[in-house]
Structure 1
Amino acid sequence: MFDKILIANRGEIACRVIKTARAMGIRTVAVHSDADRDALHVKMADEAVPIGPPPASESYIVIDRILDAVRRTGAQAVHPGYGFLSERAGFARALEAAGVAFIGPPVGAIEAMGDKITSKKLAAKAGVSTVPGYMGLIGDADEAVKIAGQIGYPVMIKASAGGGGKGMRIAWTDDETREGFQSSKNEAKSSFGDDRIFIEKFVTSPRHIEIQVLGDAHGNCIYLGERECSIQRRNQKVIEEAPSPFLDERTRRAMGEQAVALAQAVDYCSAGTVEFIVDDKKNFYFLEMNTRLQVEHPVTELITGIDLVEQMIRVAAGEPLALKQSDVRLDGWALESRLYAEDPYRNFLPSIGRLTRYRPPAEEPRRVRNDTGVYEGGEISMFYDPMIAKLCTWGQDRDAALEEMRVALDTFEVEGIAHNLPFLSAVMDHPRFASGDITTGFIAEEYPDGFDGVTLPGAAQHRIAALAARMWEVVSARAGQISGQLSTADPHAERALVVILAGEQHPVRLNGQGAVSFGDVSIDVTALDWHPGATLARAEVGGVAIAVKVDRRTDGFRIRYRGADLVVKVYTPRQAELAALMPEKLPPDTSKMLLCPMPGLIVTLAVAEGDEVQEGQALCTVEAMKMENVLRAERKGVVSKVHVAPGQSLSVDEVIMEFD
C-alpha cells in the first residue's frame, strides 16, 4: 500500500480523497493555484505545493507542474479527482513513465472511453445500445447544420472530450446549431484543451441514469447499482439519487451487465461510470463512459456501504477486489443536492465573493453527509466550477430520504454570495419530483420562466406567522430586561399584534403561554429554540417540527423556509395603522440598460453604438466559471452607448450598454 499520495485537484473532491486516505493511514499532498492558497483542501492535507496562477490552464491542468510537485514530495501515487486531468491519457502516461501510480484506469481505457466518439463505436461493437448520431469530426458550423438536418432535430452538440455539462448544447433549429457549435467549441477548448465536437440525436422526455462499475487489474469487474441524475440544468446535474425510482430489477440488471461488458472490453480497472439515456418505455442507450470518480458517487456509497475512493486506491496498489457481484446489496435510498454559487433568481448565473456565513447542517453517520471544499470566511473564485458542496441524505426509503433532505436544506446557512439553496428546497417539495415522475427536462418544464421563489401554502404561512409572533415575544422579553428600554409590564402577558406576511395582514393574539390565535384558530408554538441574534430557529408549530433561517429586522424578521424568502413584519395594532400610510419606495428604472447579471469577463460584443437590435438578438457573451453566457435583447431598440470592451472584467449589475 502507498505511504503518500498527491491529489491533483481542488475543492470538495480533494477534501473527499484526503478523508479516505487519512482513514487508511496514507499521507496526502495537496496542490494549489495562487487563488487557492488558503483553500480547505490545502489546510487538510499533510503537505501542499503551489503550482501556478489562478486559471486552471496555467496550474491545475499543466502536467509538468503536477509532476514537479510529485517529484518534490516523493508521492508514490496520484488521485486526479474529477475534471481537470482526471481523464487525460497523457497525464496517466506521464505518471507511468515517472514510476508513479495513477489512481484511475489504465491509459488504454482512458483513450478508448475518454473520447466520446471512439467510445460510442466501441460500445456498439460490445453490444451496448447507442443513440443515433454522427461520430465523425465536424469542421465548422456549416457542416454542423448539415449534419443536424440529416439526423433530425432536436440534436445534442457535444464536446468529444467533455464532461460536467461543459461544451454541450441542445439545438432545435439551424440557427441554434450554428451558435451552439461555436459556443461548445469555445467551452471545450478552455475546459479540456480539446475542441472536437460531435452531434447526436437528442432523445425527448429522457431520464439520465448511470451505472457505477468497479474493476481491478485481475480481470474482476462488478456494478454497484444505478444513480438517477435527471434533474439537470444546462446539462449540468443538480440533484441525484440512488437507486432510480424508475427502474425495475430486470432493467437494472440489463444495464449493469452491459456496463460491465463495456468495461471489460477495454480491460477497465478502478471506479468508472457508464451513463445511459432511458426513455419512458425503459429503453436505454449508451451516452458515454466516465473513466473517473463521479461527482455524485456519495449516493452510491450511502446505499452500498462501499467507499469508492478506498477501492480506487487499493486497485491502484495492485490489490484484487474483495467484492463479488453477489456481495453487492442496495440498502435504503440516498439523495444528493449540489450547492452551487449560482443565483436562481437571475437564471442561475454564477456568483462570487466571500462566504460571510457557511454553516452546513450537522453531519450524522449515513443520514446526513456534506462533502465540501469551503469554509466560513473563504472566497468563491471566478476561476473554477461554481459547485461548493454536495449535501447528501439517506433514509430507509425514498420518502424518508426526501424528508431528511428537506430538513437539512432548511438548516443549511450560506451568506455572502448568491446560491441555489432556495431552488433545491423548492424541488424537494415539488409534487412531481416527490412522485419520482422526472426527466432531464424537469427544470425547463416546471420553471419555464425561471425561478422566482416559492409561495408557501396557507397552512405553512400561518405557521410562519405564528412563529414570527412568538419570536417577537422573545425579543420583547429580552428588551424588557434591559433597563430603560421598555416598561416593566410582564413581557409574557396576553397581547395583540399584527403580522404582515406575503402582503397580507394577520391580526393575532398571544396568550403568553406559547399559543398564537388567528381569530378562532389557535396554533401552539412550543419547544422554541431561538434567541435574539441567532440565525436559525427551530420549533414545534401546530404539531409540525420546522426549522427556519432568521435575520432580525427593525420591523420584524427575514425568514427563509422551504425555498420561500419572506419579509415578515410584526407590529402592534397602532404601528400597523401608521405603516399602512407610508409611501412605497420604488426601485430605479433600468429598463433601458443591459446590466451584467453576474461577475464575469466580456468575451465578445455583437453590437456597436447606433445599431438597431431586435428582441432576442445576441448582444454580448460573458464568461464566468468556465461557462459562456449569451446576453440577448429583451425588446427592440437602438444601442446608444457601449460601456465595455472585450476582455474587460465586470461585477454584478455593472452597465454593459444603454438603449434609446
Structure 2
Amino acid sequence: MFKKILIANRGEIACRVIKSARRMGIATVAVYSDADRDAVHVEMADEAVHIGPAPAAQSYLVAEKIIEACKATGAQAVHPGYGFLSERASFCETLEQEGIVFVGPKPKAIRAMGDKIESKKFANDARVSTVPGYLGVIEDADQAERIAGEIGYPVMIKASAGGGGKGMRIAWGQAEVRDGFERARSEAKSSFGDDRVFIEKFIVDPRHIEIQVLADAHGNAIYLGERECSIQRRNQKVVEEAPSPFLDEKTRCAMGEQAVALAKAVDYQSAGTVEFIVDRDRNFYFLEMNTRLQVEHPVTELITGVDLVEQMIRIAAGENLAIRQGDVKLNGWAVESRLYAEDPYRNFLPSIGRLTRYRPPAEGRFGDIVIRNDTGVTEGSEIPMFYDPMVAKLCTWAPTRLEAIDAMSEALDEFVVDGIEHNIPFLSALMQHPRWREGRLSTGFIAEEYPDGFAPMMPDDEEKAVLACVGTVIELLRRDRLDRLTGRLAPHSGVLKPDWVVRLDDEYIPVSIGEGMVSIPMEIDLSVAGGKPQTVISDWRPGEPVWRGTVGEHSVAAQIRPIGNGARIAWRGLSVMTRTMLPRTAELDRLMPIKAAPDTSKLLLCPMPGLVVSIPVAEGQEVKAGETLAIVEAMKMENVLRADRDLTVEKINAKPGESLAVDAVIMEFA
C-alpha cells in the first residue's frame, strides 16, 4: 500500500480524498493556486505545495507542476479527483514514466472512453445500446445543419471532450443549429482546449441514470446500482439520488451488466461511471463513460456502504477487488443536493465573494436519518471566479425515499450561508415540489417546471400561519429581552397584550395570544387570522441563526436574519420579511410610502462578476429583440446577454477581455 499520495485537485473533492486516505493511514499532499492559499484542503493535508497563479490553466491543469510536487514530497501516487487532469491520458502516461501511480484507469481506457465520439464507436462494437447520431467530427455549421436534418429534430450538439454540461446545446429546429454549433465549439475550446463536437438524437423526456462500476487489474468487475441524475439545469446536475425511483430490478440488472461488459471490454481498472439516458418505456441508451470518480458518488456510498475512494486507492495499489457482485446490497435511499454559488432569482447567475457565515447542518446519524456534507470551504473562505461554483454537496440517507427527501428539506433549512448568493432557496423549494416527490422526472424538469426561471415563492395560507407564528414568537422574545435589559416589567411594555399584527412582506395578518408565557424554552398558544389556536414550542434564543421548534403539527427549521424592526425568515424555499407590531402601529405602518426601484431599463448591467468574451454590437447600432448584445464568461461558462426588446445602442462602456463586477454597466441605450 502507498505511504503517501498527492491529490491533484482542490475544494470538496480534495478534502474527500484526504479523509479516506487518512482512515487508511496514508499521508497526503495538497496542491494549491494563489486563490487557494488558505483553502480547507491545504490545511487538512499533511503537506501542501504551491503550483501557480489562480487560473486553472496556469496551475491545476499544468501536469509538469503536479509531477514536480510529487518528486519534491515523495508522493508515490496521484489521485486526480474529478475535472482538471482526471481524464487526460497523457498525464497518466507521464506519471507512469516517472514511476508515479495514477489512482484511476489506464491510458487505454481513458482514451477509449474519454472521447465521446470514440467511446460511442467503441460501445457500438461492444454491442452496447447507443443513441442514433453522427459520430464523426463536424467541420462547420453548414455540415452541422445537414447532419441534424438527416438525424431528425430535436438533436443534441455536444463537445467531444466535454463534461459537466459544458459545450452542449439542444437544437429543436434548423434555426437553432448554427448558433448552437458555434456556442458549443466556443465553450468546448475554452473549457477543454478541444473544439470538436458531434451530434446525436435528443431523446424527449429522457431520464439520466448512471451505473457505478468498480474493476481491478485482475479481471474482476462489479456494478453498485444506479444513480438518478435527471434534475439538471443547462445539462449540469443539481440533485441526484440512489437508487432511481423509475427502474425495476430487471432494467437495473440489464443496465448493470452492460456497464460491466463495457468496463471489461476496455480493460477498465478503477471506479468509473457508465451513463445512460432512459426513455419513458425504460429503453436505455449509452451516453458516455466517465473514467473517474463522479461528483455524486456519495449517494452510492450511502446506500451500499462502500467507500469508493478507498477502493480506487486499493485497486491502484494492485489489490484484488474484495467485493463480489453478490455482496452488493442496496439499502435505503440517499439524496444529494449540490449547493452552488449562484443566484436562483437572477437565472442562476454565478456569485463570488467571502463566506461571512457558513453553518452547515450537523453531520452524523440521527435515529433513522444520516446527514453528510462534503465541502471544501469554511466560514471566511473566499469563493473565487476561477473555478466551478459548487460550494458543498449535502446528502441525506433514510430507509425510504420520502423520508430521505424530508430529511434533506430540513437539512437545507438549517444550512446557513451568508456573503454570497446561493441556490439553497431553490433546492428547498424543490424538495416540496409534488412532481419531484412523486418521482416523475426527466432532464427537462427544471425547464418545464420553471420556464420563466425561479422566482420568489408566495406562501399558501397554511405556510403563512406558520411564518406568522414564528415571527410573533421572535418579536415577543425580543421585547422580553429588551425589558430585562432596561429593567422594565413586561406588563408595562405591552408584551403580553393579546392582540398583534404580523406583516408578512406586504400582507398584514392578525395574531392572538392564548395560553403560555414568554420564556425560554417557549410554549405558547397562538391563533392566526381568527383560526384554531396552535401551540408553538421552541428553545430558540435571540441571535441564533436557525429557529427550531414546532408550530402545531409542523416541525420547523427556519433561518432568521434580523432586519429593521423585524426579521427575514427563510423556510422551505420561502423568504419573507416579518414585522410584528401592535394593531395601532400596523395601521400607521400601512400609510408609509414605498420607495420605488431605480429605472435600469436603458442599461445593460453585467449580471455576474466575469470576463467579457465579446460584444458583437457597435455604438449607434439598432438591434432587435433576442439579438446578442454581449457574451460574459464566469466560472467556466459562457453567458449570452440578449436584447429583451428592440433598441439602439448609445454607448458601450466595456470591451472584450475586461473583467467586470456584478451590475457594472456594459452599455447604455438611447
The verdict on a shared fold, with TM-score over 0.5 as the criterion, is: yes
The aligned counterpart of 1:613 is: 623
CA deviation profile, 1:212-234 (whole Å, cap 9, x unmatched)? 00000000000000000000000
Amino acid at match of 1:394: W
The one of 535, 543, 551 equivalent to 1:541 is 551
Q: Does 1:551 align with 2:561?
A: yes
The aligned counterpart of 1:159 is: 159
Structure 2 contact 469–536 (Cα < 8 Å) conserved: no
- Aligned partners of 2:494, 2:265: CA distance in 1, in Å? 75
The one of 367, 379, 382 equivalent to 2:382 is 379
After alignment, is 463-472 or 232-241 more displaced?
463-472
Post-superposition offset of 1:284: 0.3
Q: Does 1:504 align with 2:504?
A: no
The one of 578, 587, 604 equivalent to 2:597 is 587
- Aligned partners of 1:549, 1:308: CA distance in 2, in Å? 34
Amino acid at match of 2:504: L
Structure 1 contact 473–492 (Cα < 8 Å) conserved: yes
Q: How does 1:65-84 map to 2 (within 5 A)?
A: 65-84=65-84
SS of corresponding position for 2:472 = helix
CA deviation profile, 1:389-433 (whole Å, cap 9, x unmatched)? 000000101011011101000100011111000000111100000
Post-superposition offset of 1:524: 3.2
From the superposition, tell whether residues 485 and 347 of structure 1 become closer, same or farther in structure 2 (CA, over 3 Å).
Answer: farther
Amino acid at match of 2:251: T
Post-superposition offset of 1:283: 0.4
Amino acid at match of 1:228: E
The aligned counterpart of 1:273 is: 273
CA deviation profile, 1:172-210 (whole Å, cap 9, x unmatched)? 233422222222222222222222111111111000000
- Aligned partners of 1:435, 1:497: CA distance in 2, in Å? 39
Structure 2 contact 560–568 (Cα < 8 Å) conserved: yes
The aligned counterpart of 1:657 is: 667
The aligned counterpart of 1:474 is: 477
Q: Does 1:563 align with 2:566?
A: no
The aligned counterpart of 1:250 is: 250
After alignment, is 137-146 or 480-489 more displaced?
480-489
- Aligned partners of 2:59, 2:189: CA distance in 1, in Å? 16
How many residue pairs are counted as aligned between the two chains? 660
Structure 2 contact 350–635 (Cα < 8 Å) conserved: yes
SS of corresponding position for 1:597 = coil
Q: Does 1:489 align with 2:492?
A: yes
Amino acid at match of 1:217: A
- Aligned partners of 1:461, 1:225: CA distance in 2, in Å? 41
Post-superposition offset of 1:578: 1.0
After alignment, is 528-537 or 638-647 more displaced?
528-537
Post-superposition offset of 1:470: 1.2
Amino acid at match of 2:470: L
After alignment, is 492-501 or 529-538 more displaced?
492-501
Amino acid at match of 1:252: R
Structure 1 contact 523–541 (Cα < 8 Å) conserved: no
Structure 1 contact 470–525 (Cα < 8 Å) conserved: no
Structure 2 contact 514–533 (Cα < 8 Å) conserved: no
Q: How does 1:609-648 map to 2 (within 5 A)?
A: 609-648=619-658
Structure 1 contact 57–190 (Cα < 8 Å) conserved: no
Post-superposition offset of 1:126: 1.0
- Aligned partners of 1:70, 1:612: CA distance in 2, in Å? 57
- Aligned partners of 2:71, 2:189: CA distance in 1, in Å? 29
SS of corresponding position for 2:31 = strand
After alignment, is 564-573 or 312-321 more displaced?
564-573
SS of corresponding position for 2:502 = strand
SS of corresponding position for 2:104 = coil
The one of 597, 601, 604 equivalent to 2:614 is 604
Q: How does 1:382-531 map to 2 (within 5 A)?
A: 382-483=385-486, 489=492, 493-511=496-514, 513=516, 514-531=524-541
The aligned counterpart of 2:44 is: 44
Post-superposition offset of 1:82: 0.3
- Aligned partners of 1:243, 1:204: CA distance in 2, in Å? 22
SS of corresponding position for 2:336 = strand
Amino acid at match of 2:544: A
Alpha-carbon RMSD across the aligned residues, in angstroms, is 1.3
Structure 1 contact 494–512 (Cα < 8 Å) conserved: no
Structure 1 contact 480–488 (Cα < 8 Å) conserved: no
From the superposition, tell whether residues 536 and 400 of structure 1 become closer, same or farther in structure 2 (CA, over 3 Å).
Answer: same
Amino acid at match of 2:347: N
- Aligned partners of 1:389, 1:191: CA distance in 2, in Å? 22
Post-superposition offset of 1:592: 1.3
Q: How does 1:251-400 map to 2 (within 5 A)?
A: 251-365=251-365, 367-400=370-403
Q: Aligned residues: percent identity? A: 64
Structure 2 contact 335–395 (Cα < 8 Å) conserved: yes
SS of corresponding position for 2:51 = strand
Structure 2 contact 568–576 (Cα < 8 Å) conserved: yes
- Aligned partners of 2:433, 2:490: CA distance in 1, in Å? 47
SS of corresponding position for 2:260 = helix
Post-superposition offset of 1:487: 6.8
The aligned counterpart of 2:520 is: none
Structure 1 contact 601–624 (Cα < 8 Å) conserved: yes
Structure 1 contact 423–453 (Cα < 8 Å) conserved: no
Post-superposition offset of 1:491: 6.5
Post-superposition offset of 1:166: 1.3
Post-superposition offset of 1:161: 1.1
- Aligned partners of 1:178, 1:321: CA distance in 2, in Å? 48
SS of corresponding position for 2:96 = helix
- Aligned partners of 2:600, 2:284: CA distance in 1, in Å? 48
CA deviation profile, 1:85-124 (whole Å, cap 9, x unmatched)? 0000001001100111110011100010001111101111
Gaps of 5+ in 1: none
After alignment, is 53-62 or 492-501 more displaced?
492-501
Structure 1 contact 214–271 (Cα < 8 Å) conserved: yes
The aligned counterpart of 1:22 is: 22
Structure 1 contact 356–376 (Cα < 8 Å) conserved: yes
CA deviation profile, 1:505-539 (whole Å, cap 9, x unmatched)? 11112236111123542443433122222211011
Structure 1 contact 343–349 (Cα < 8 Å) conserved: yes
The aligned counterpart of 2:587 is: 577
After alignment, is 99-108 or 505-514 more displaced?
505-514
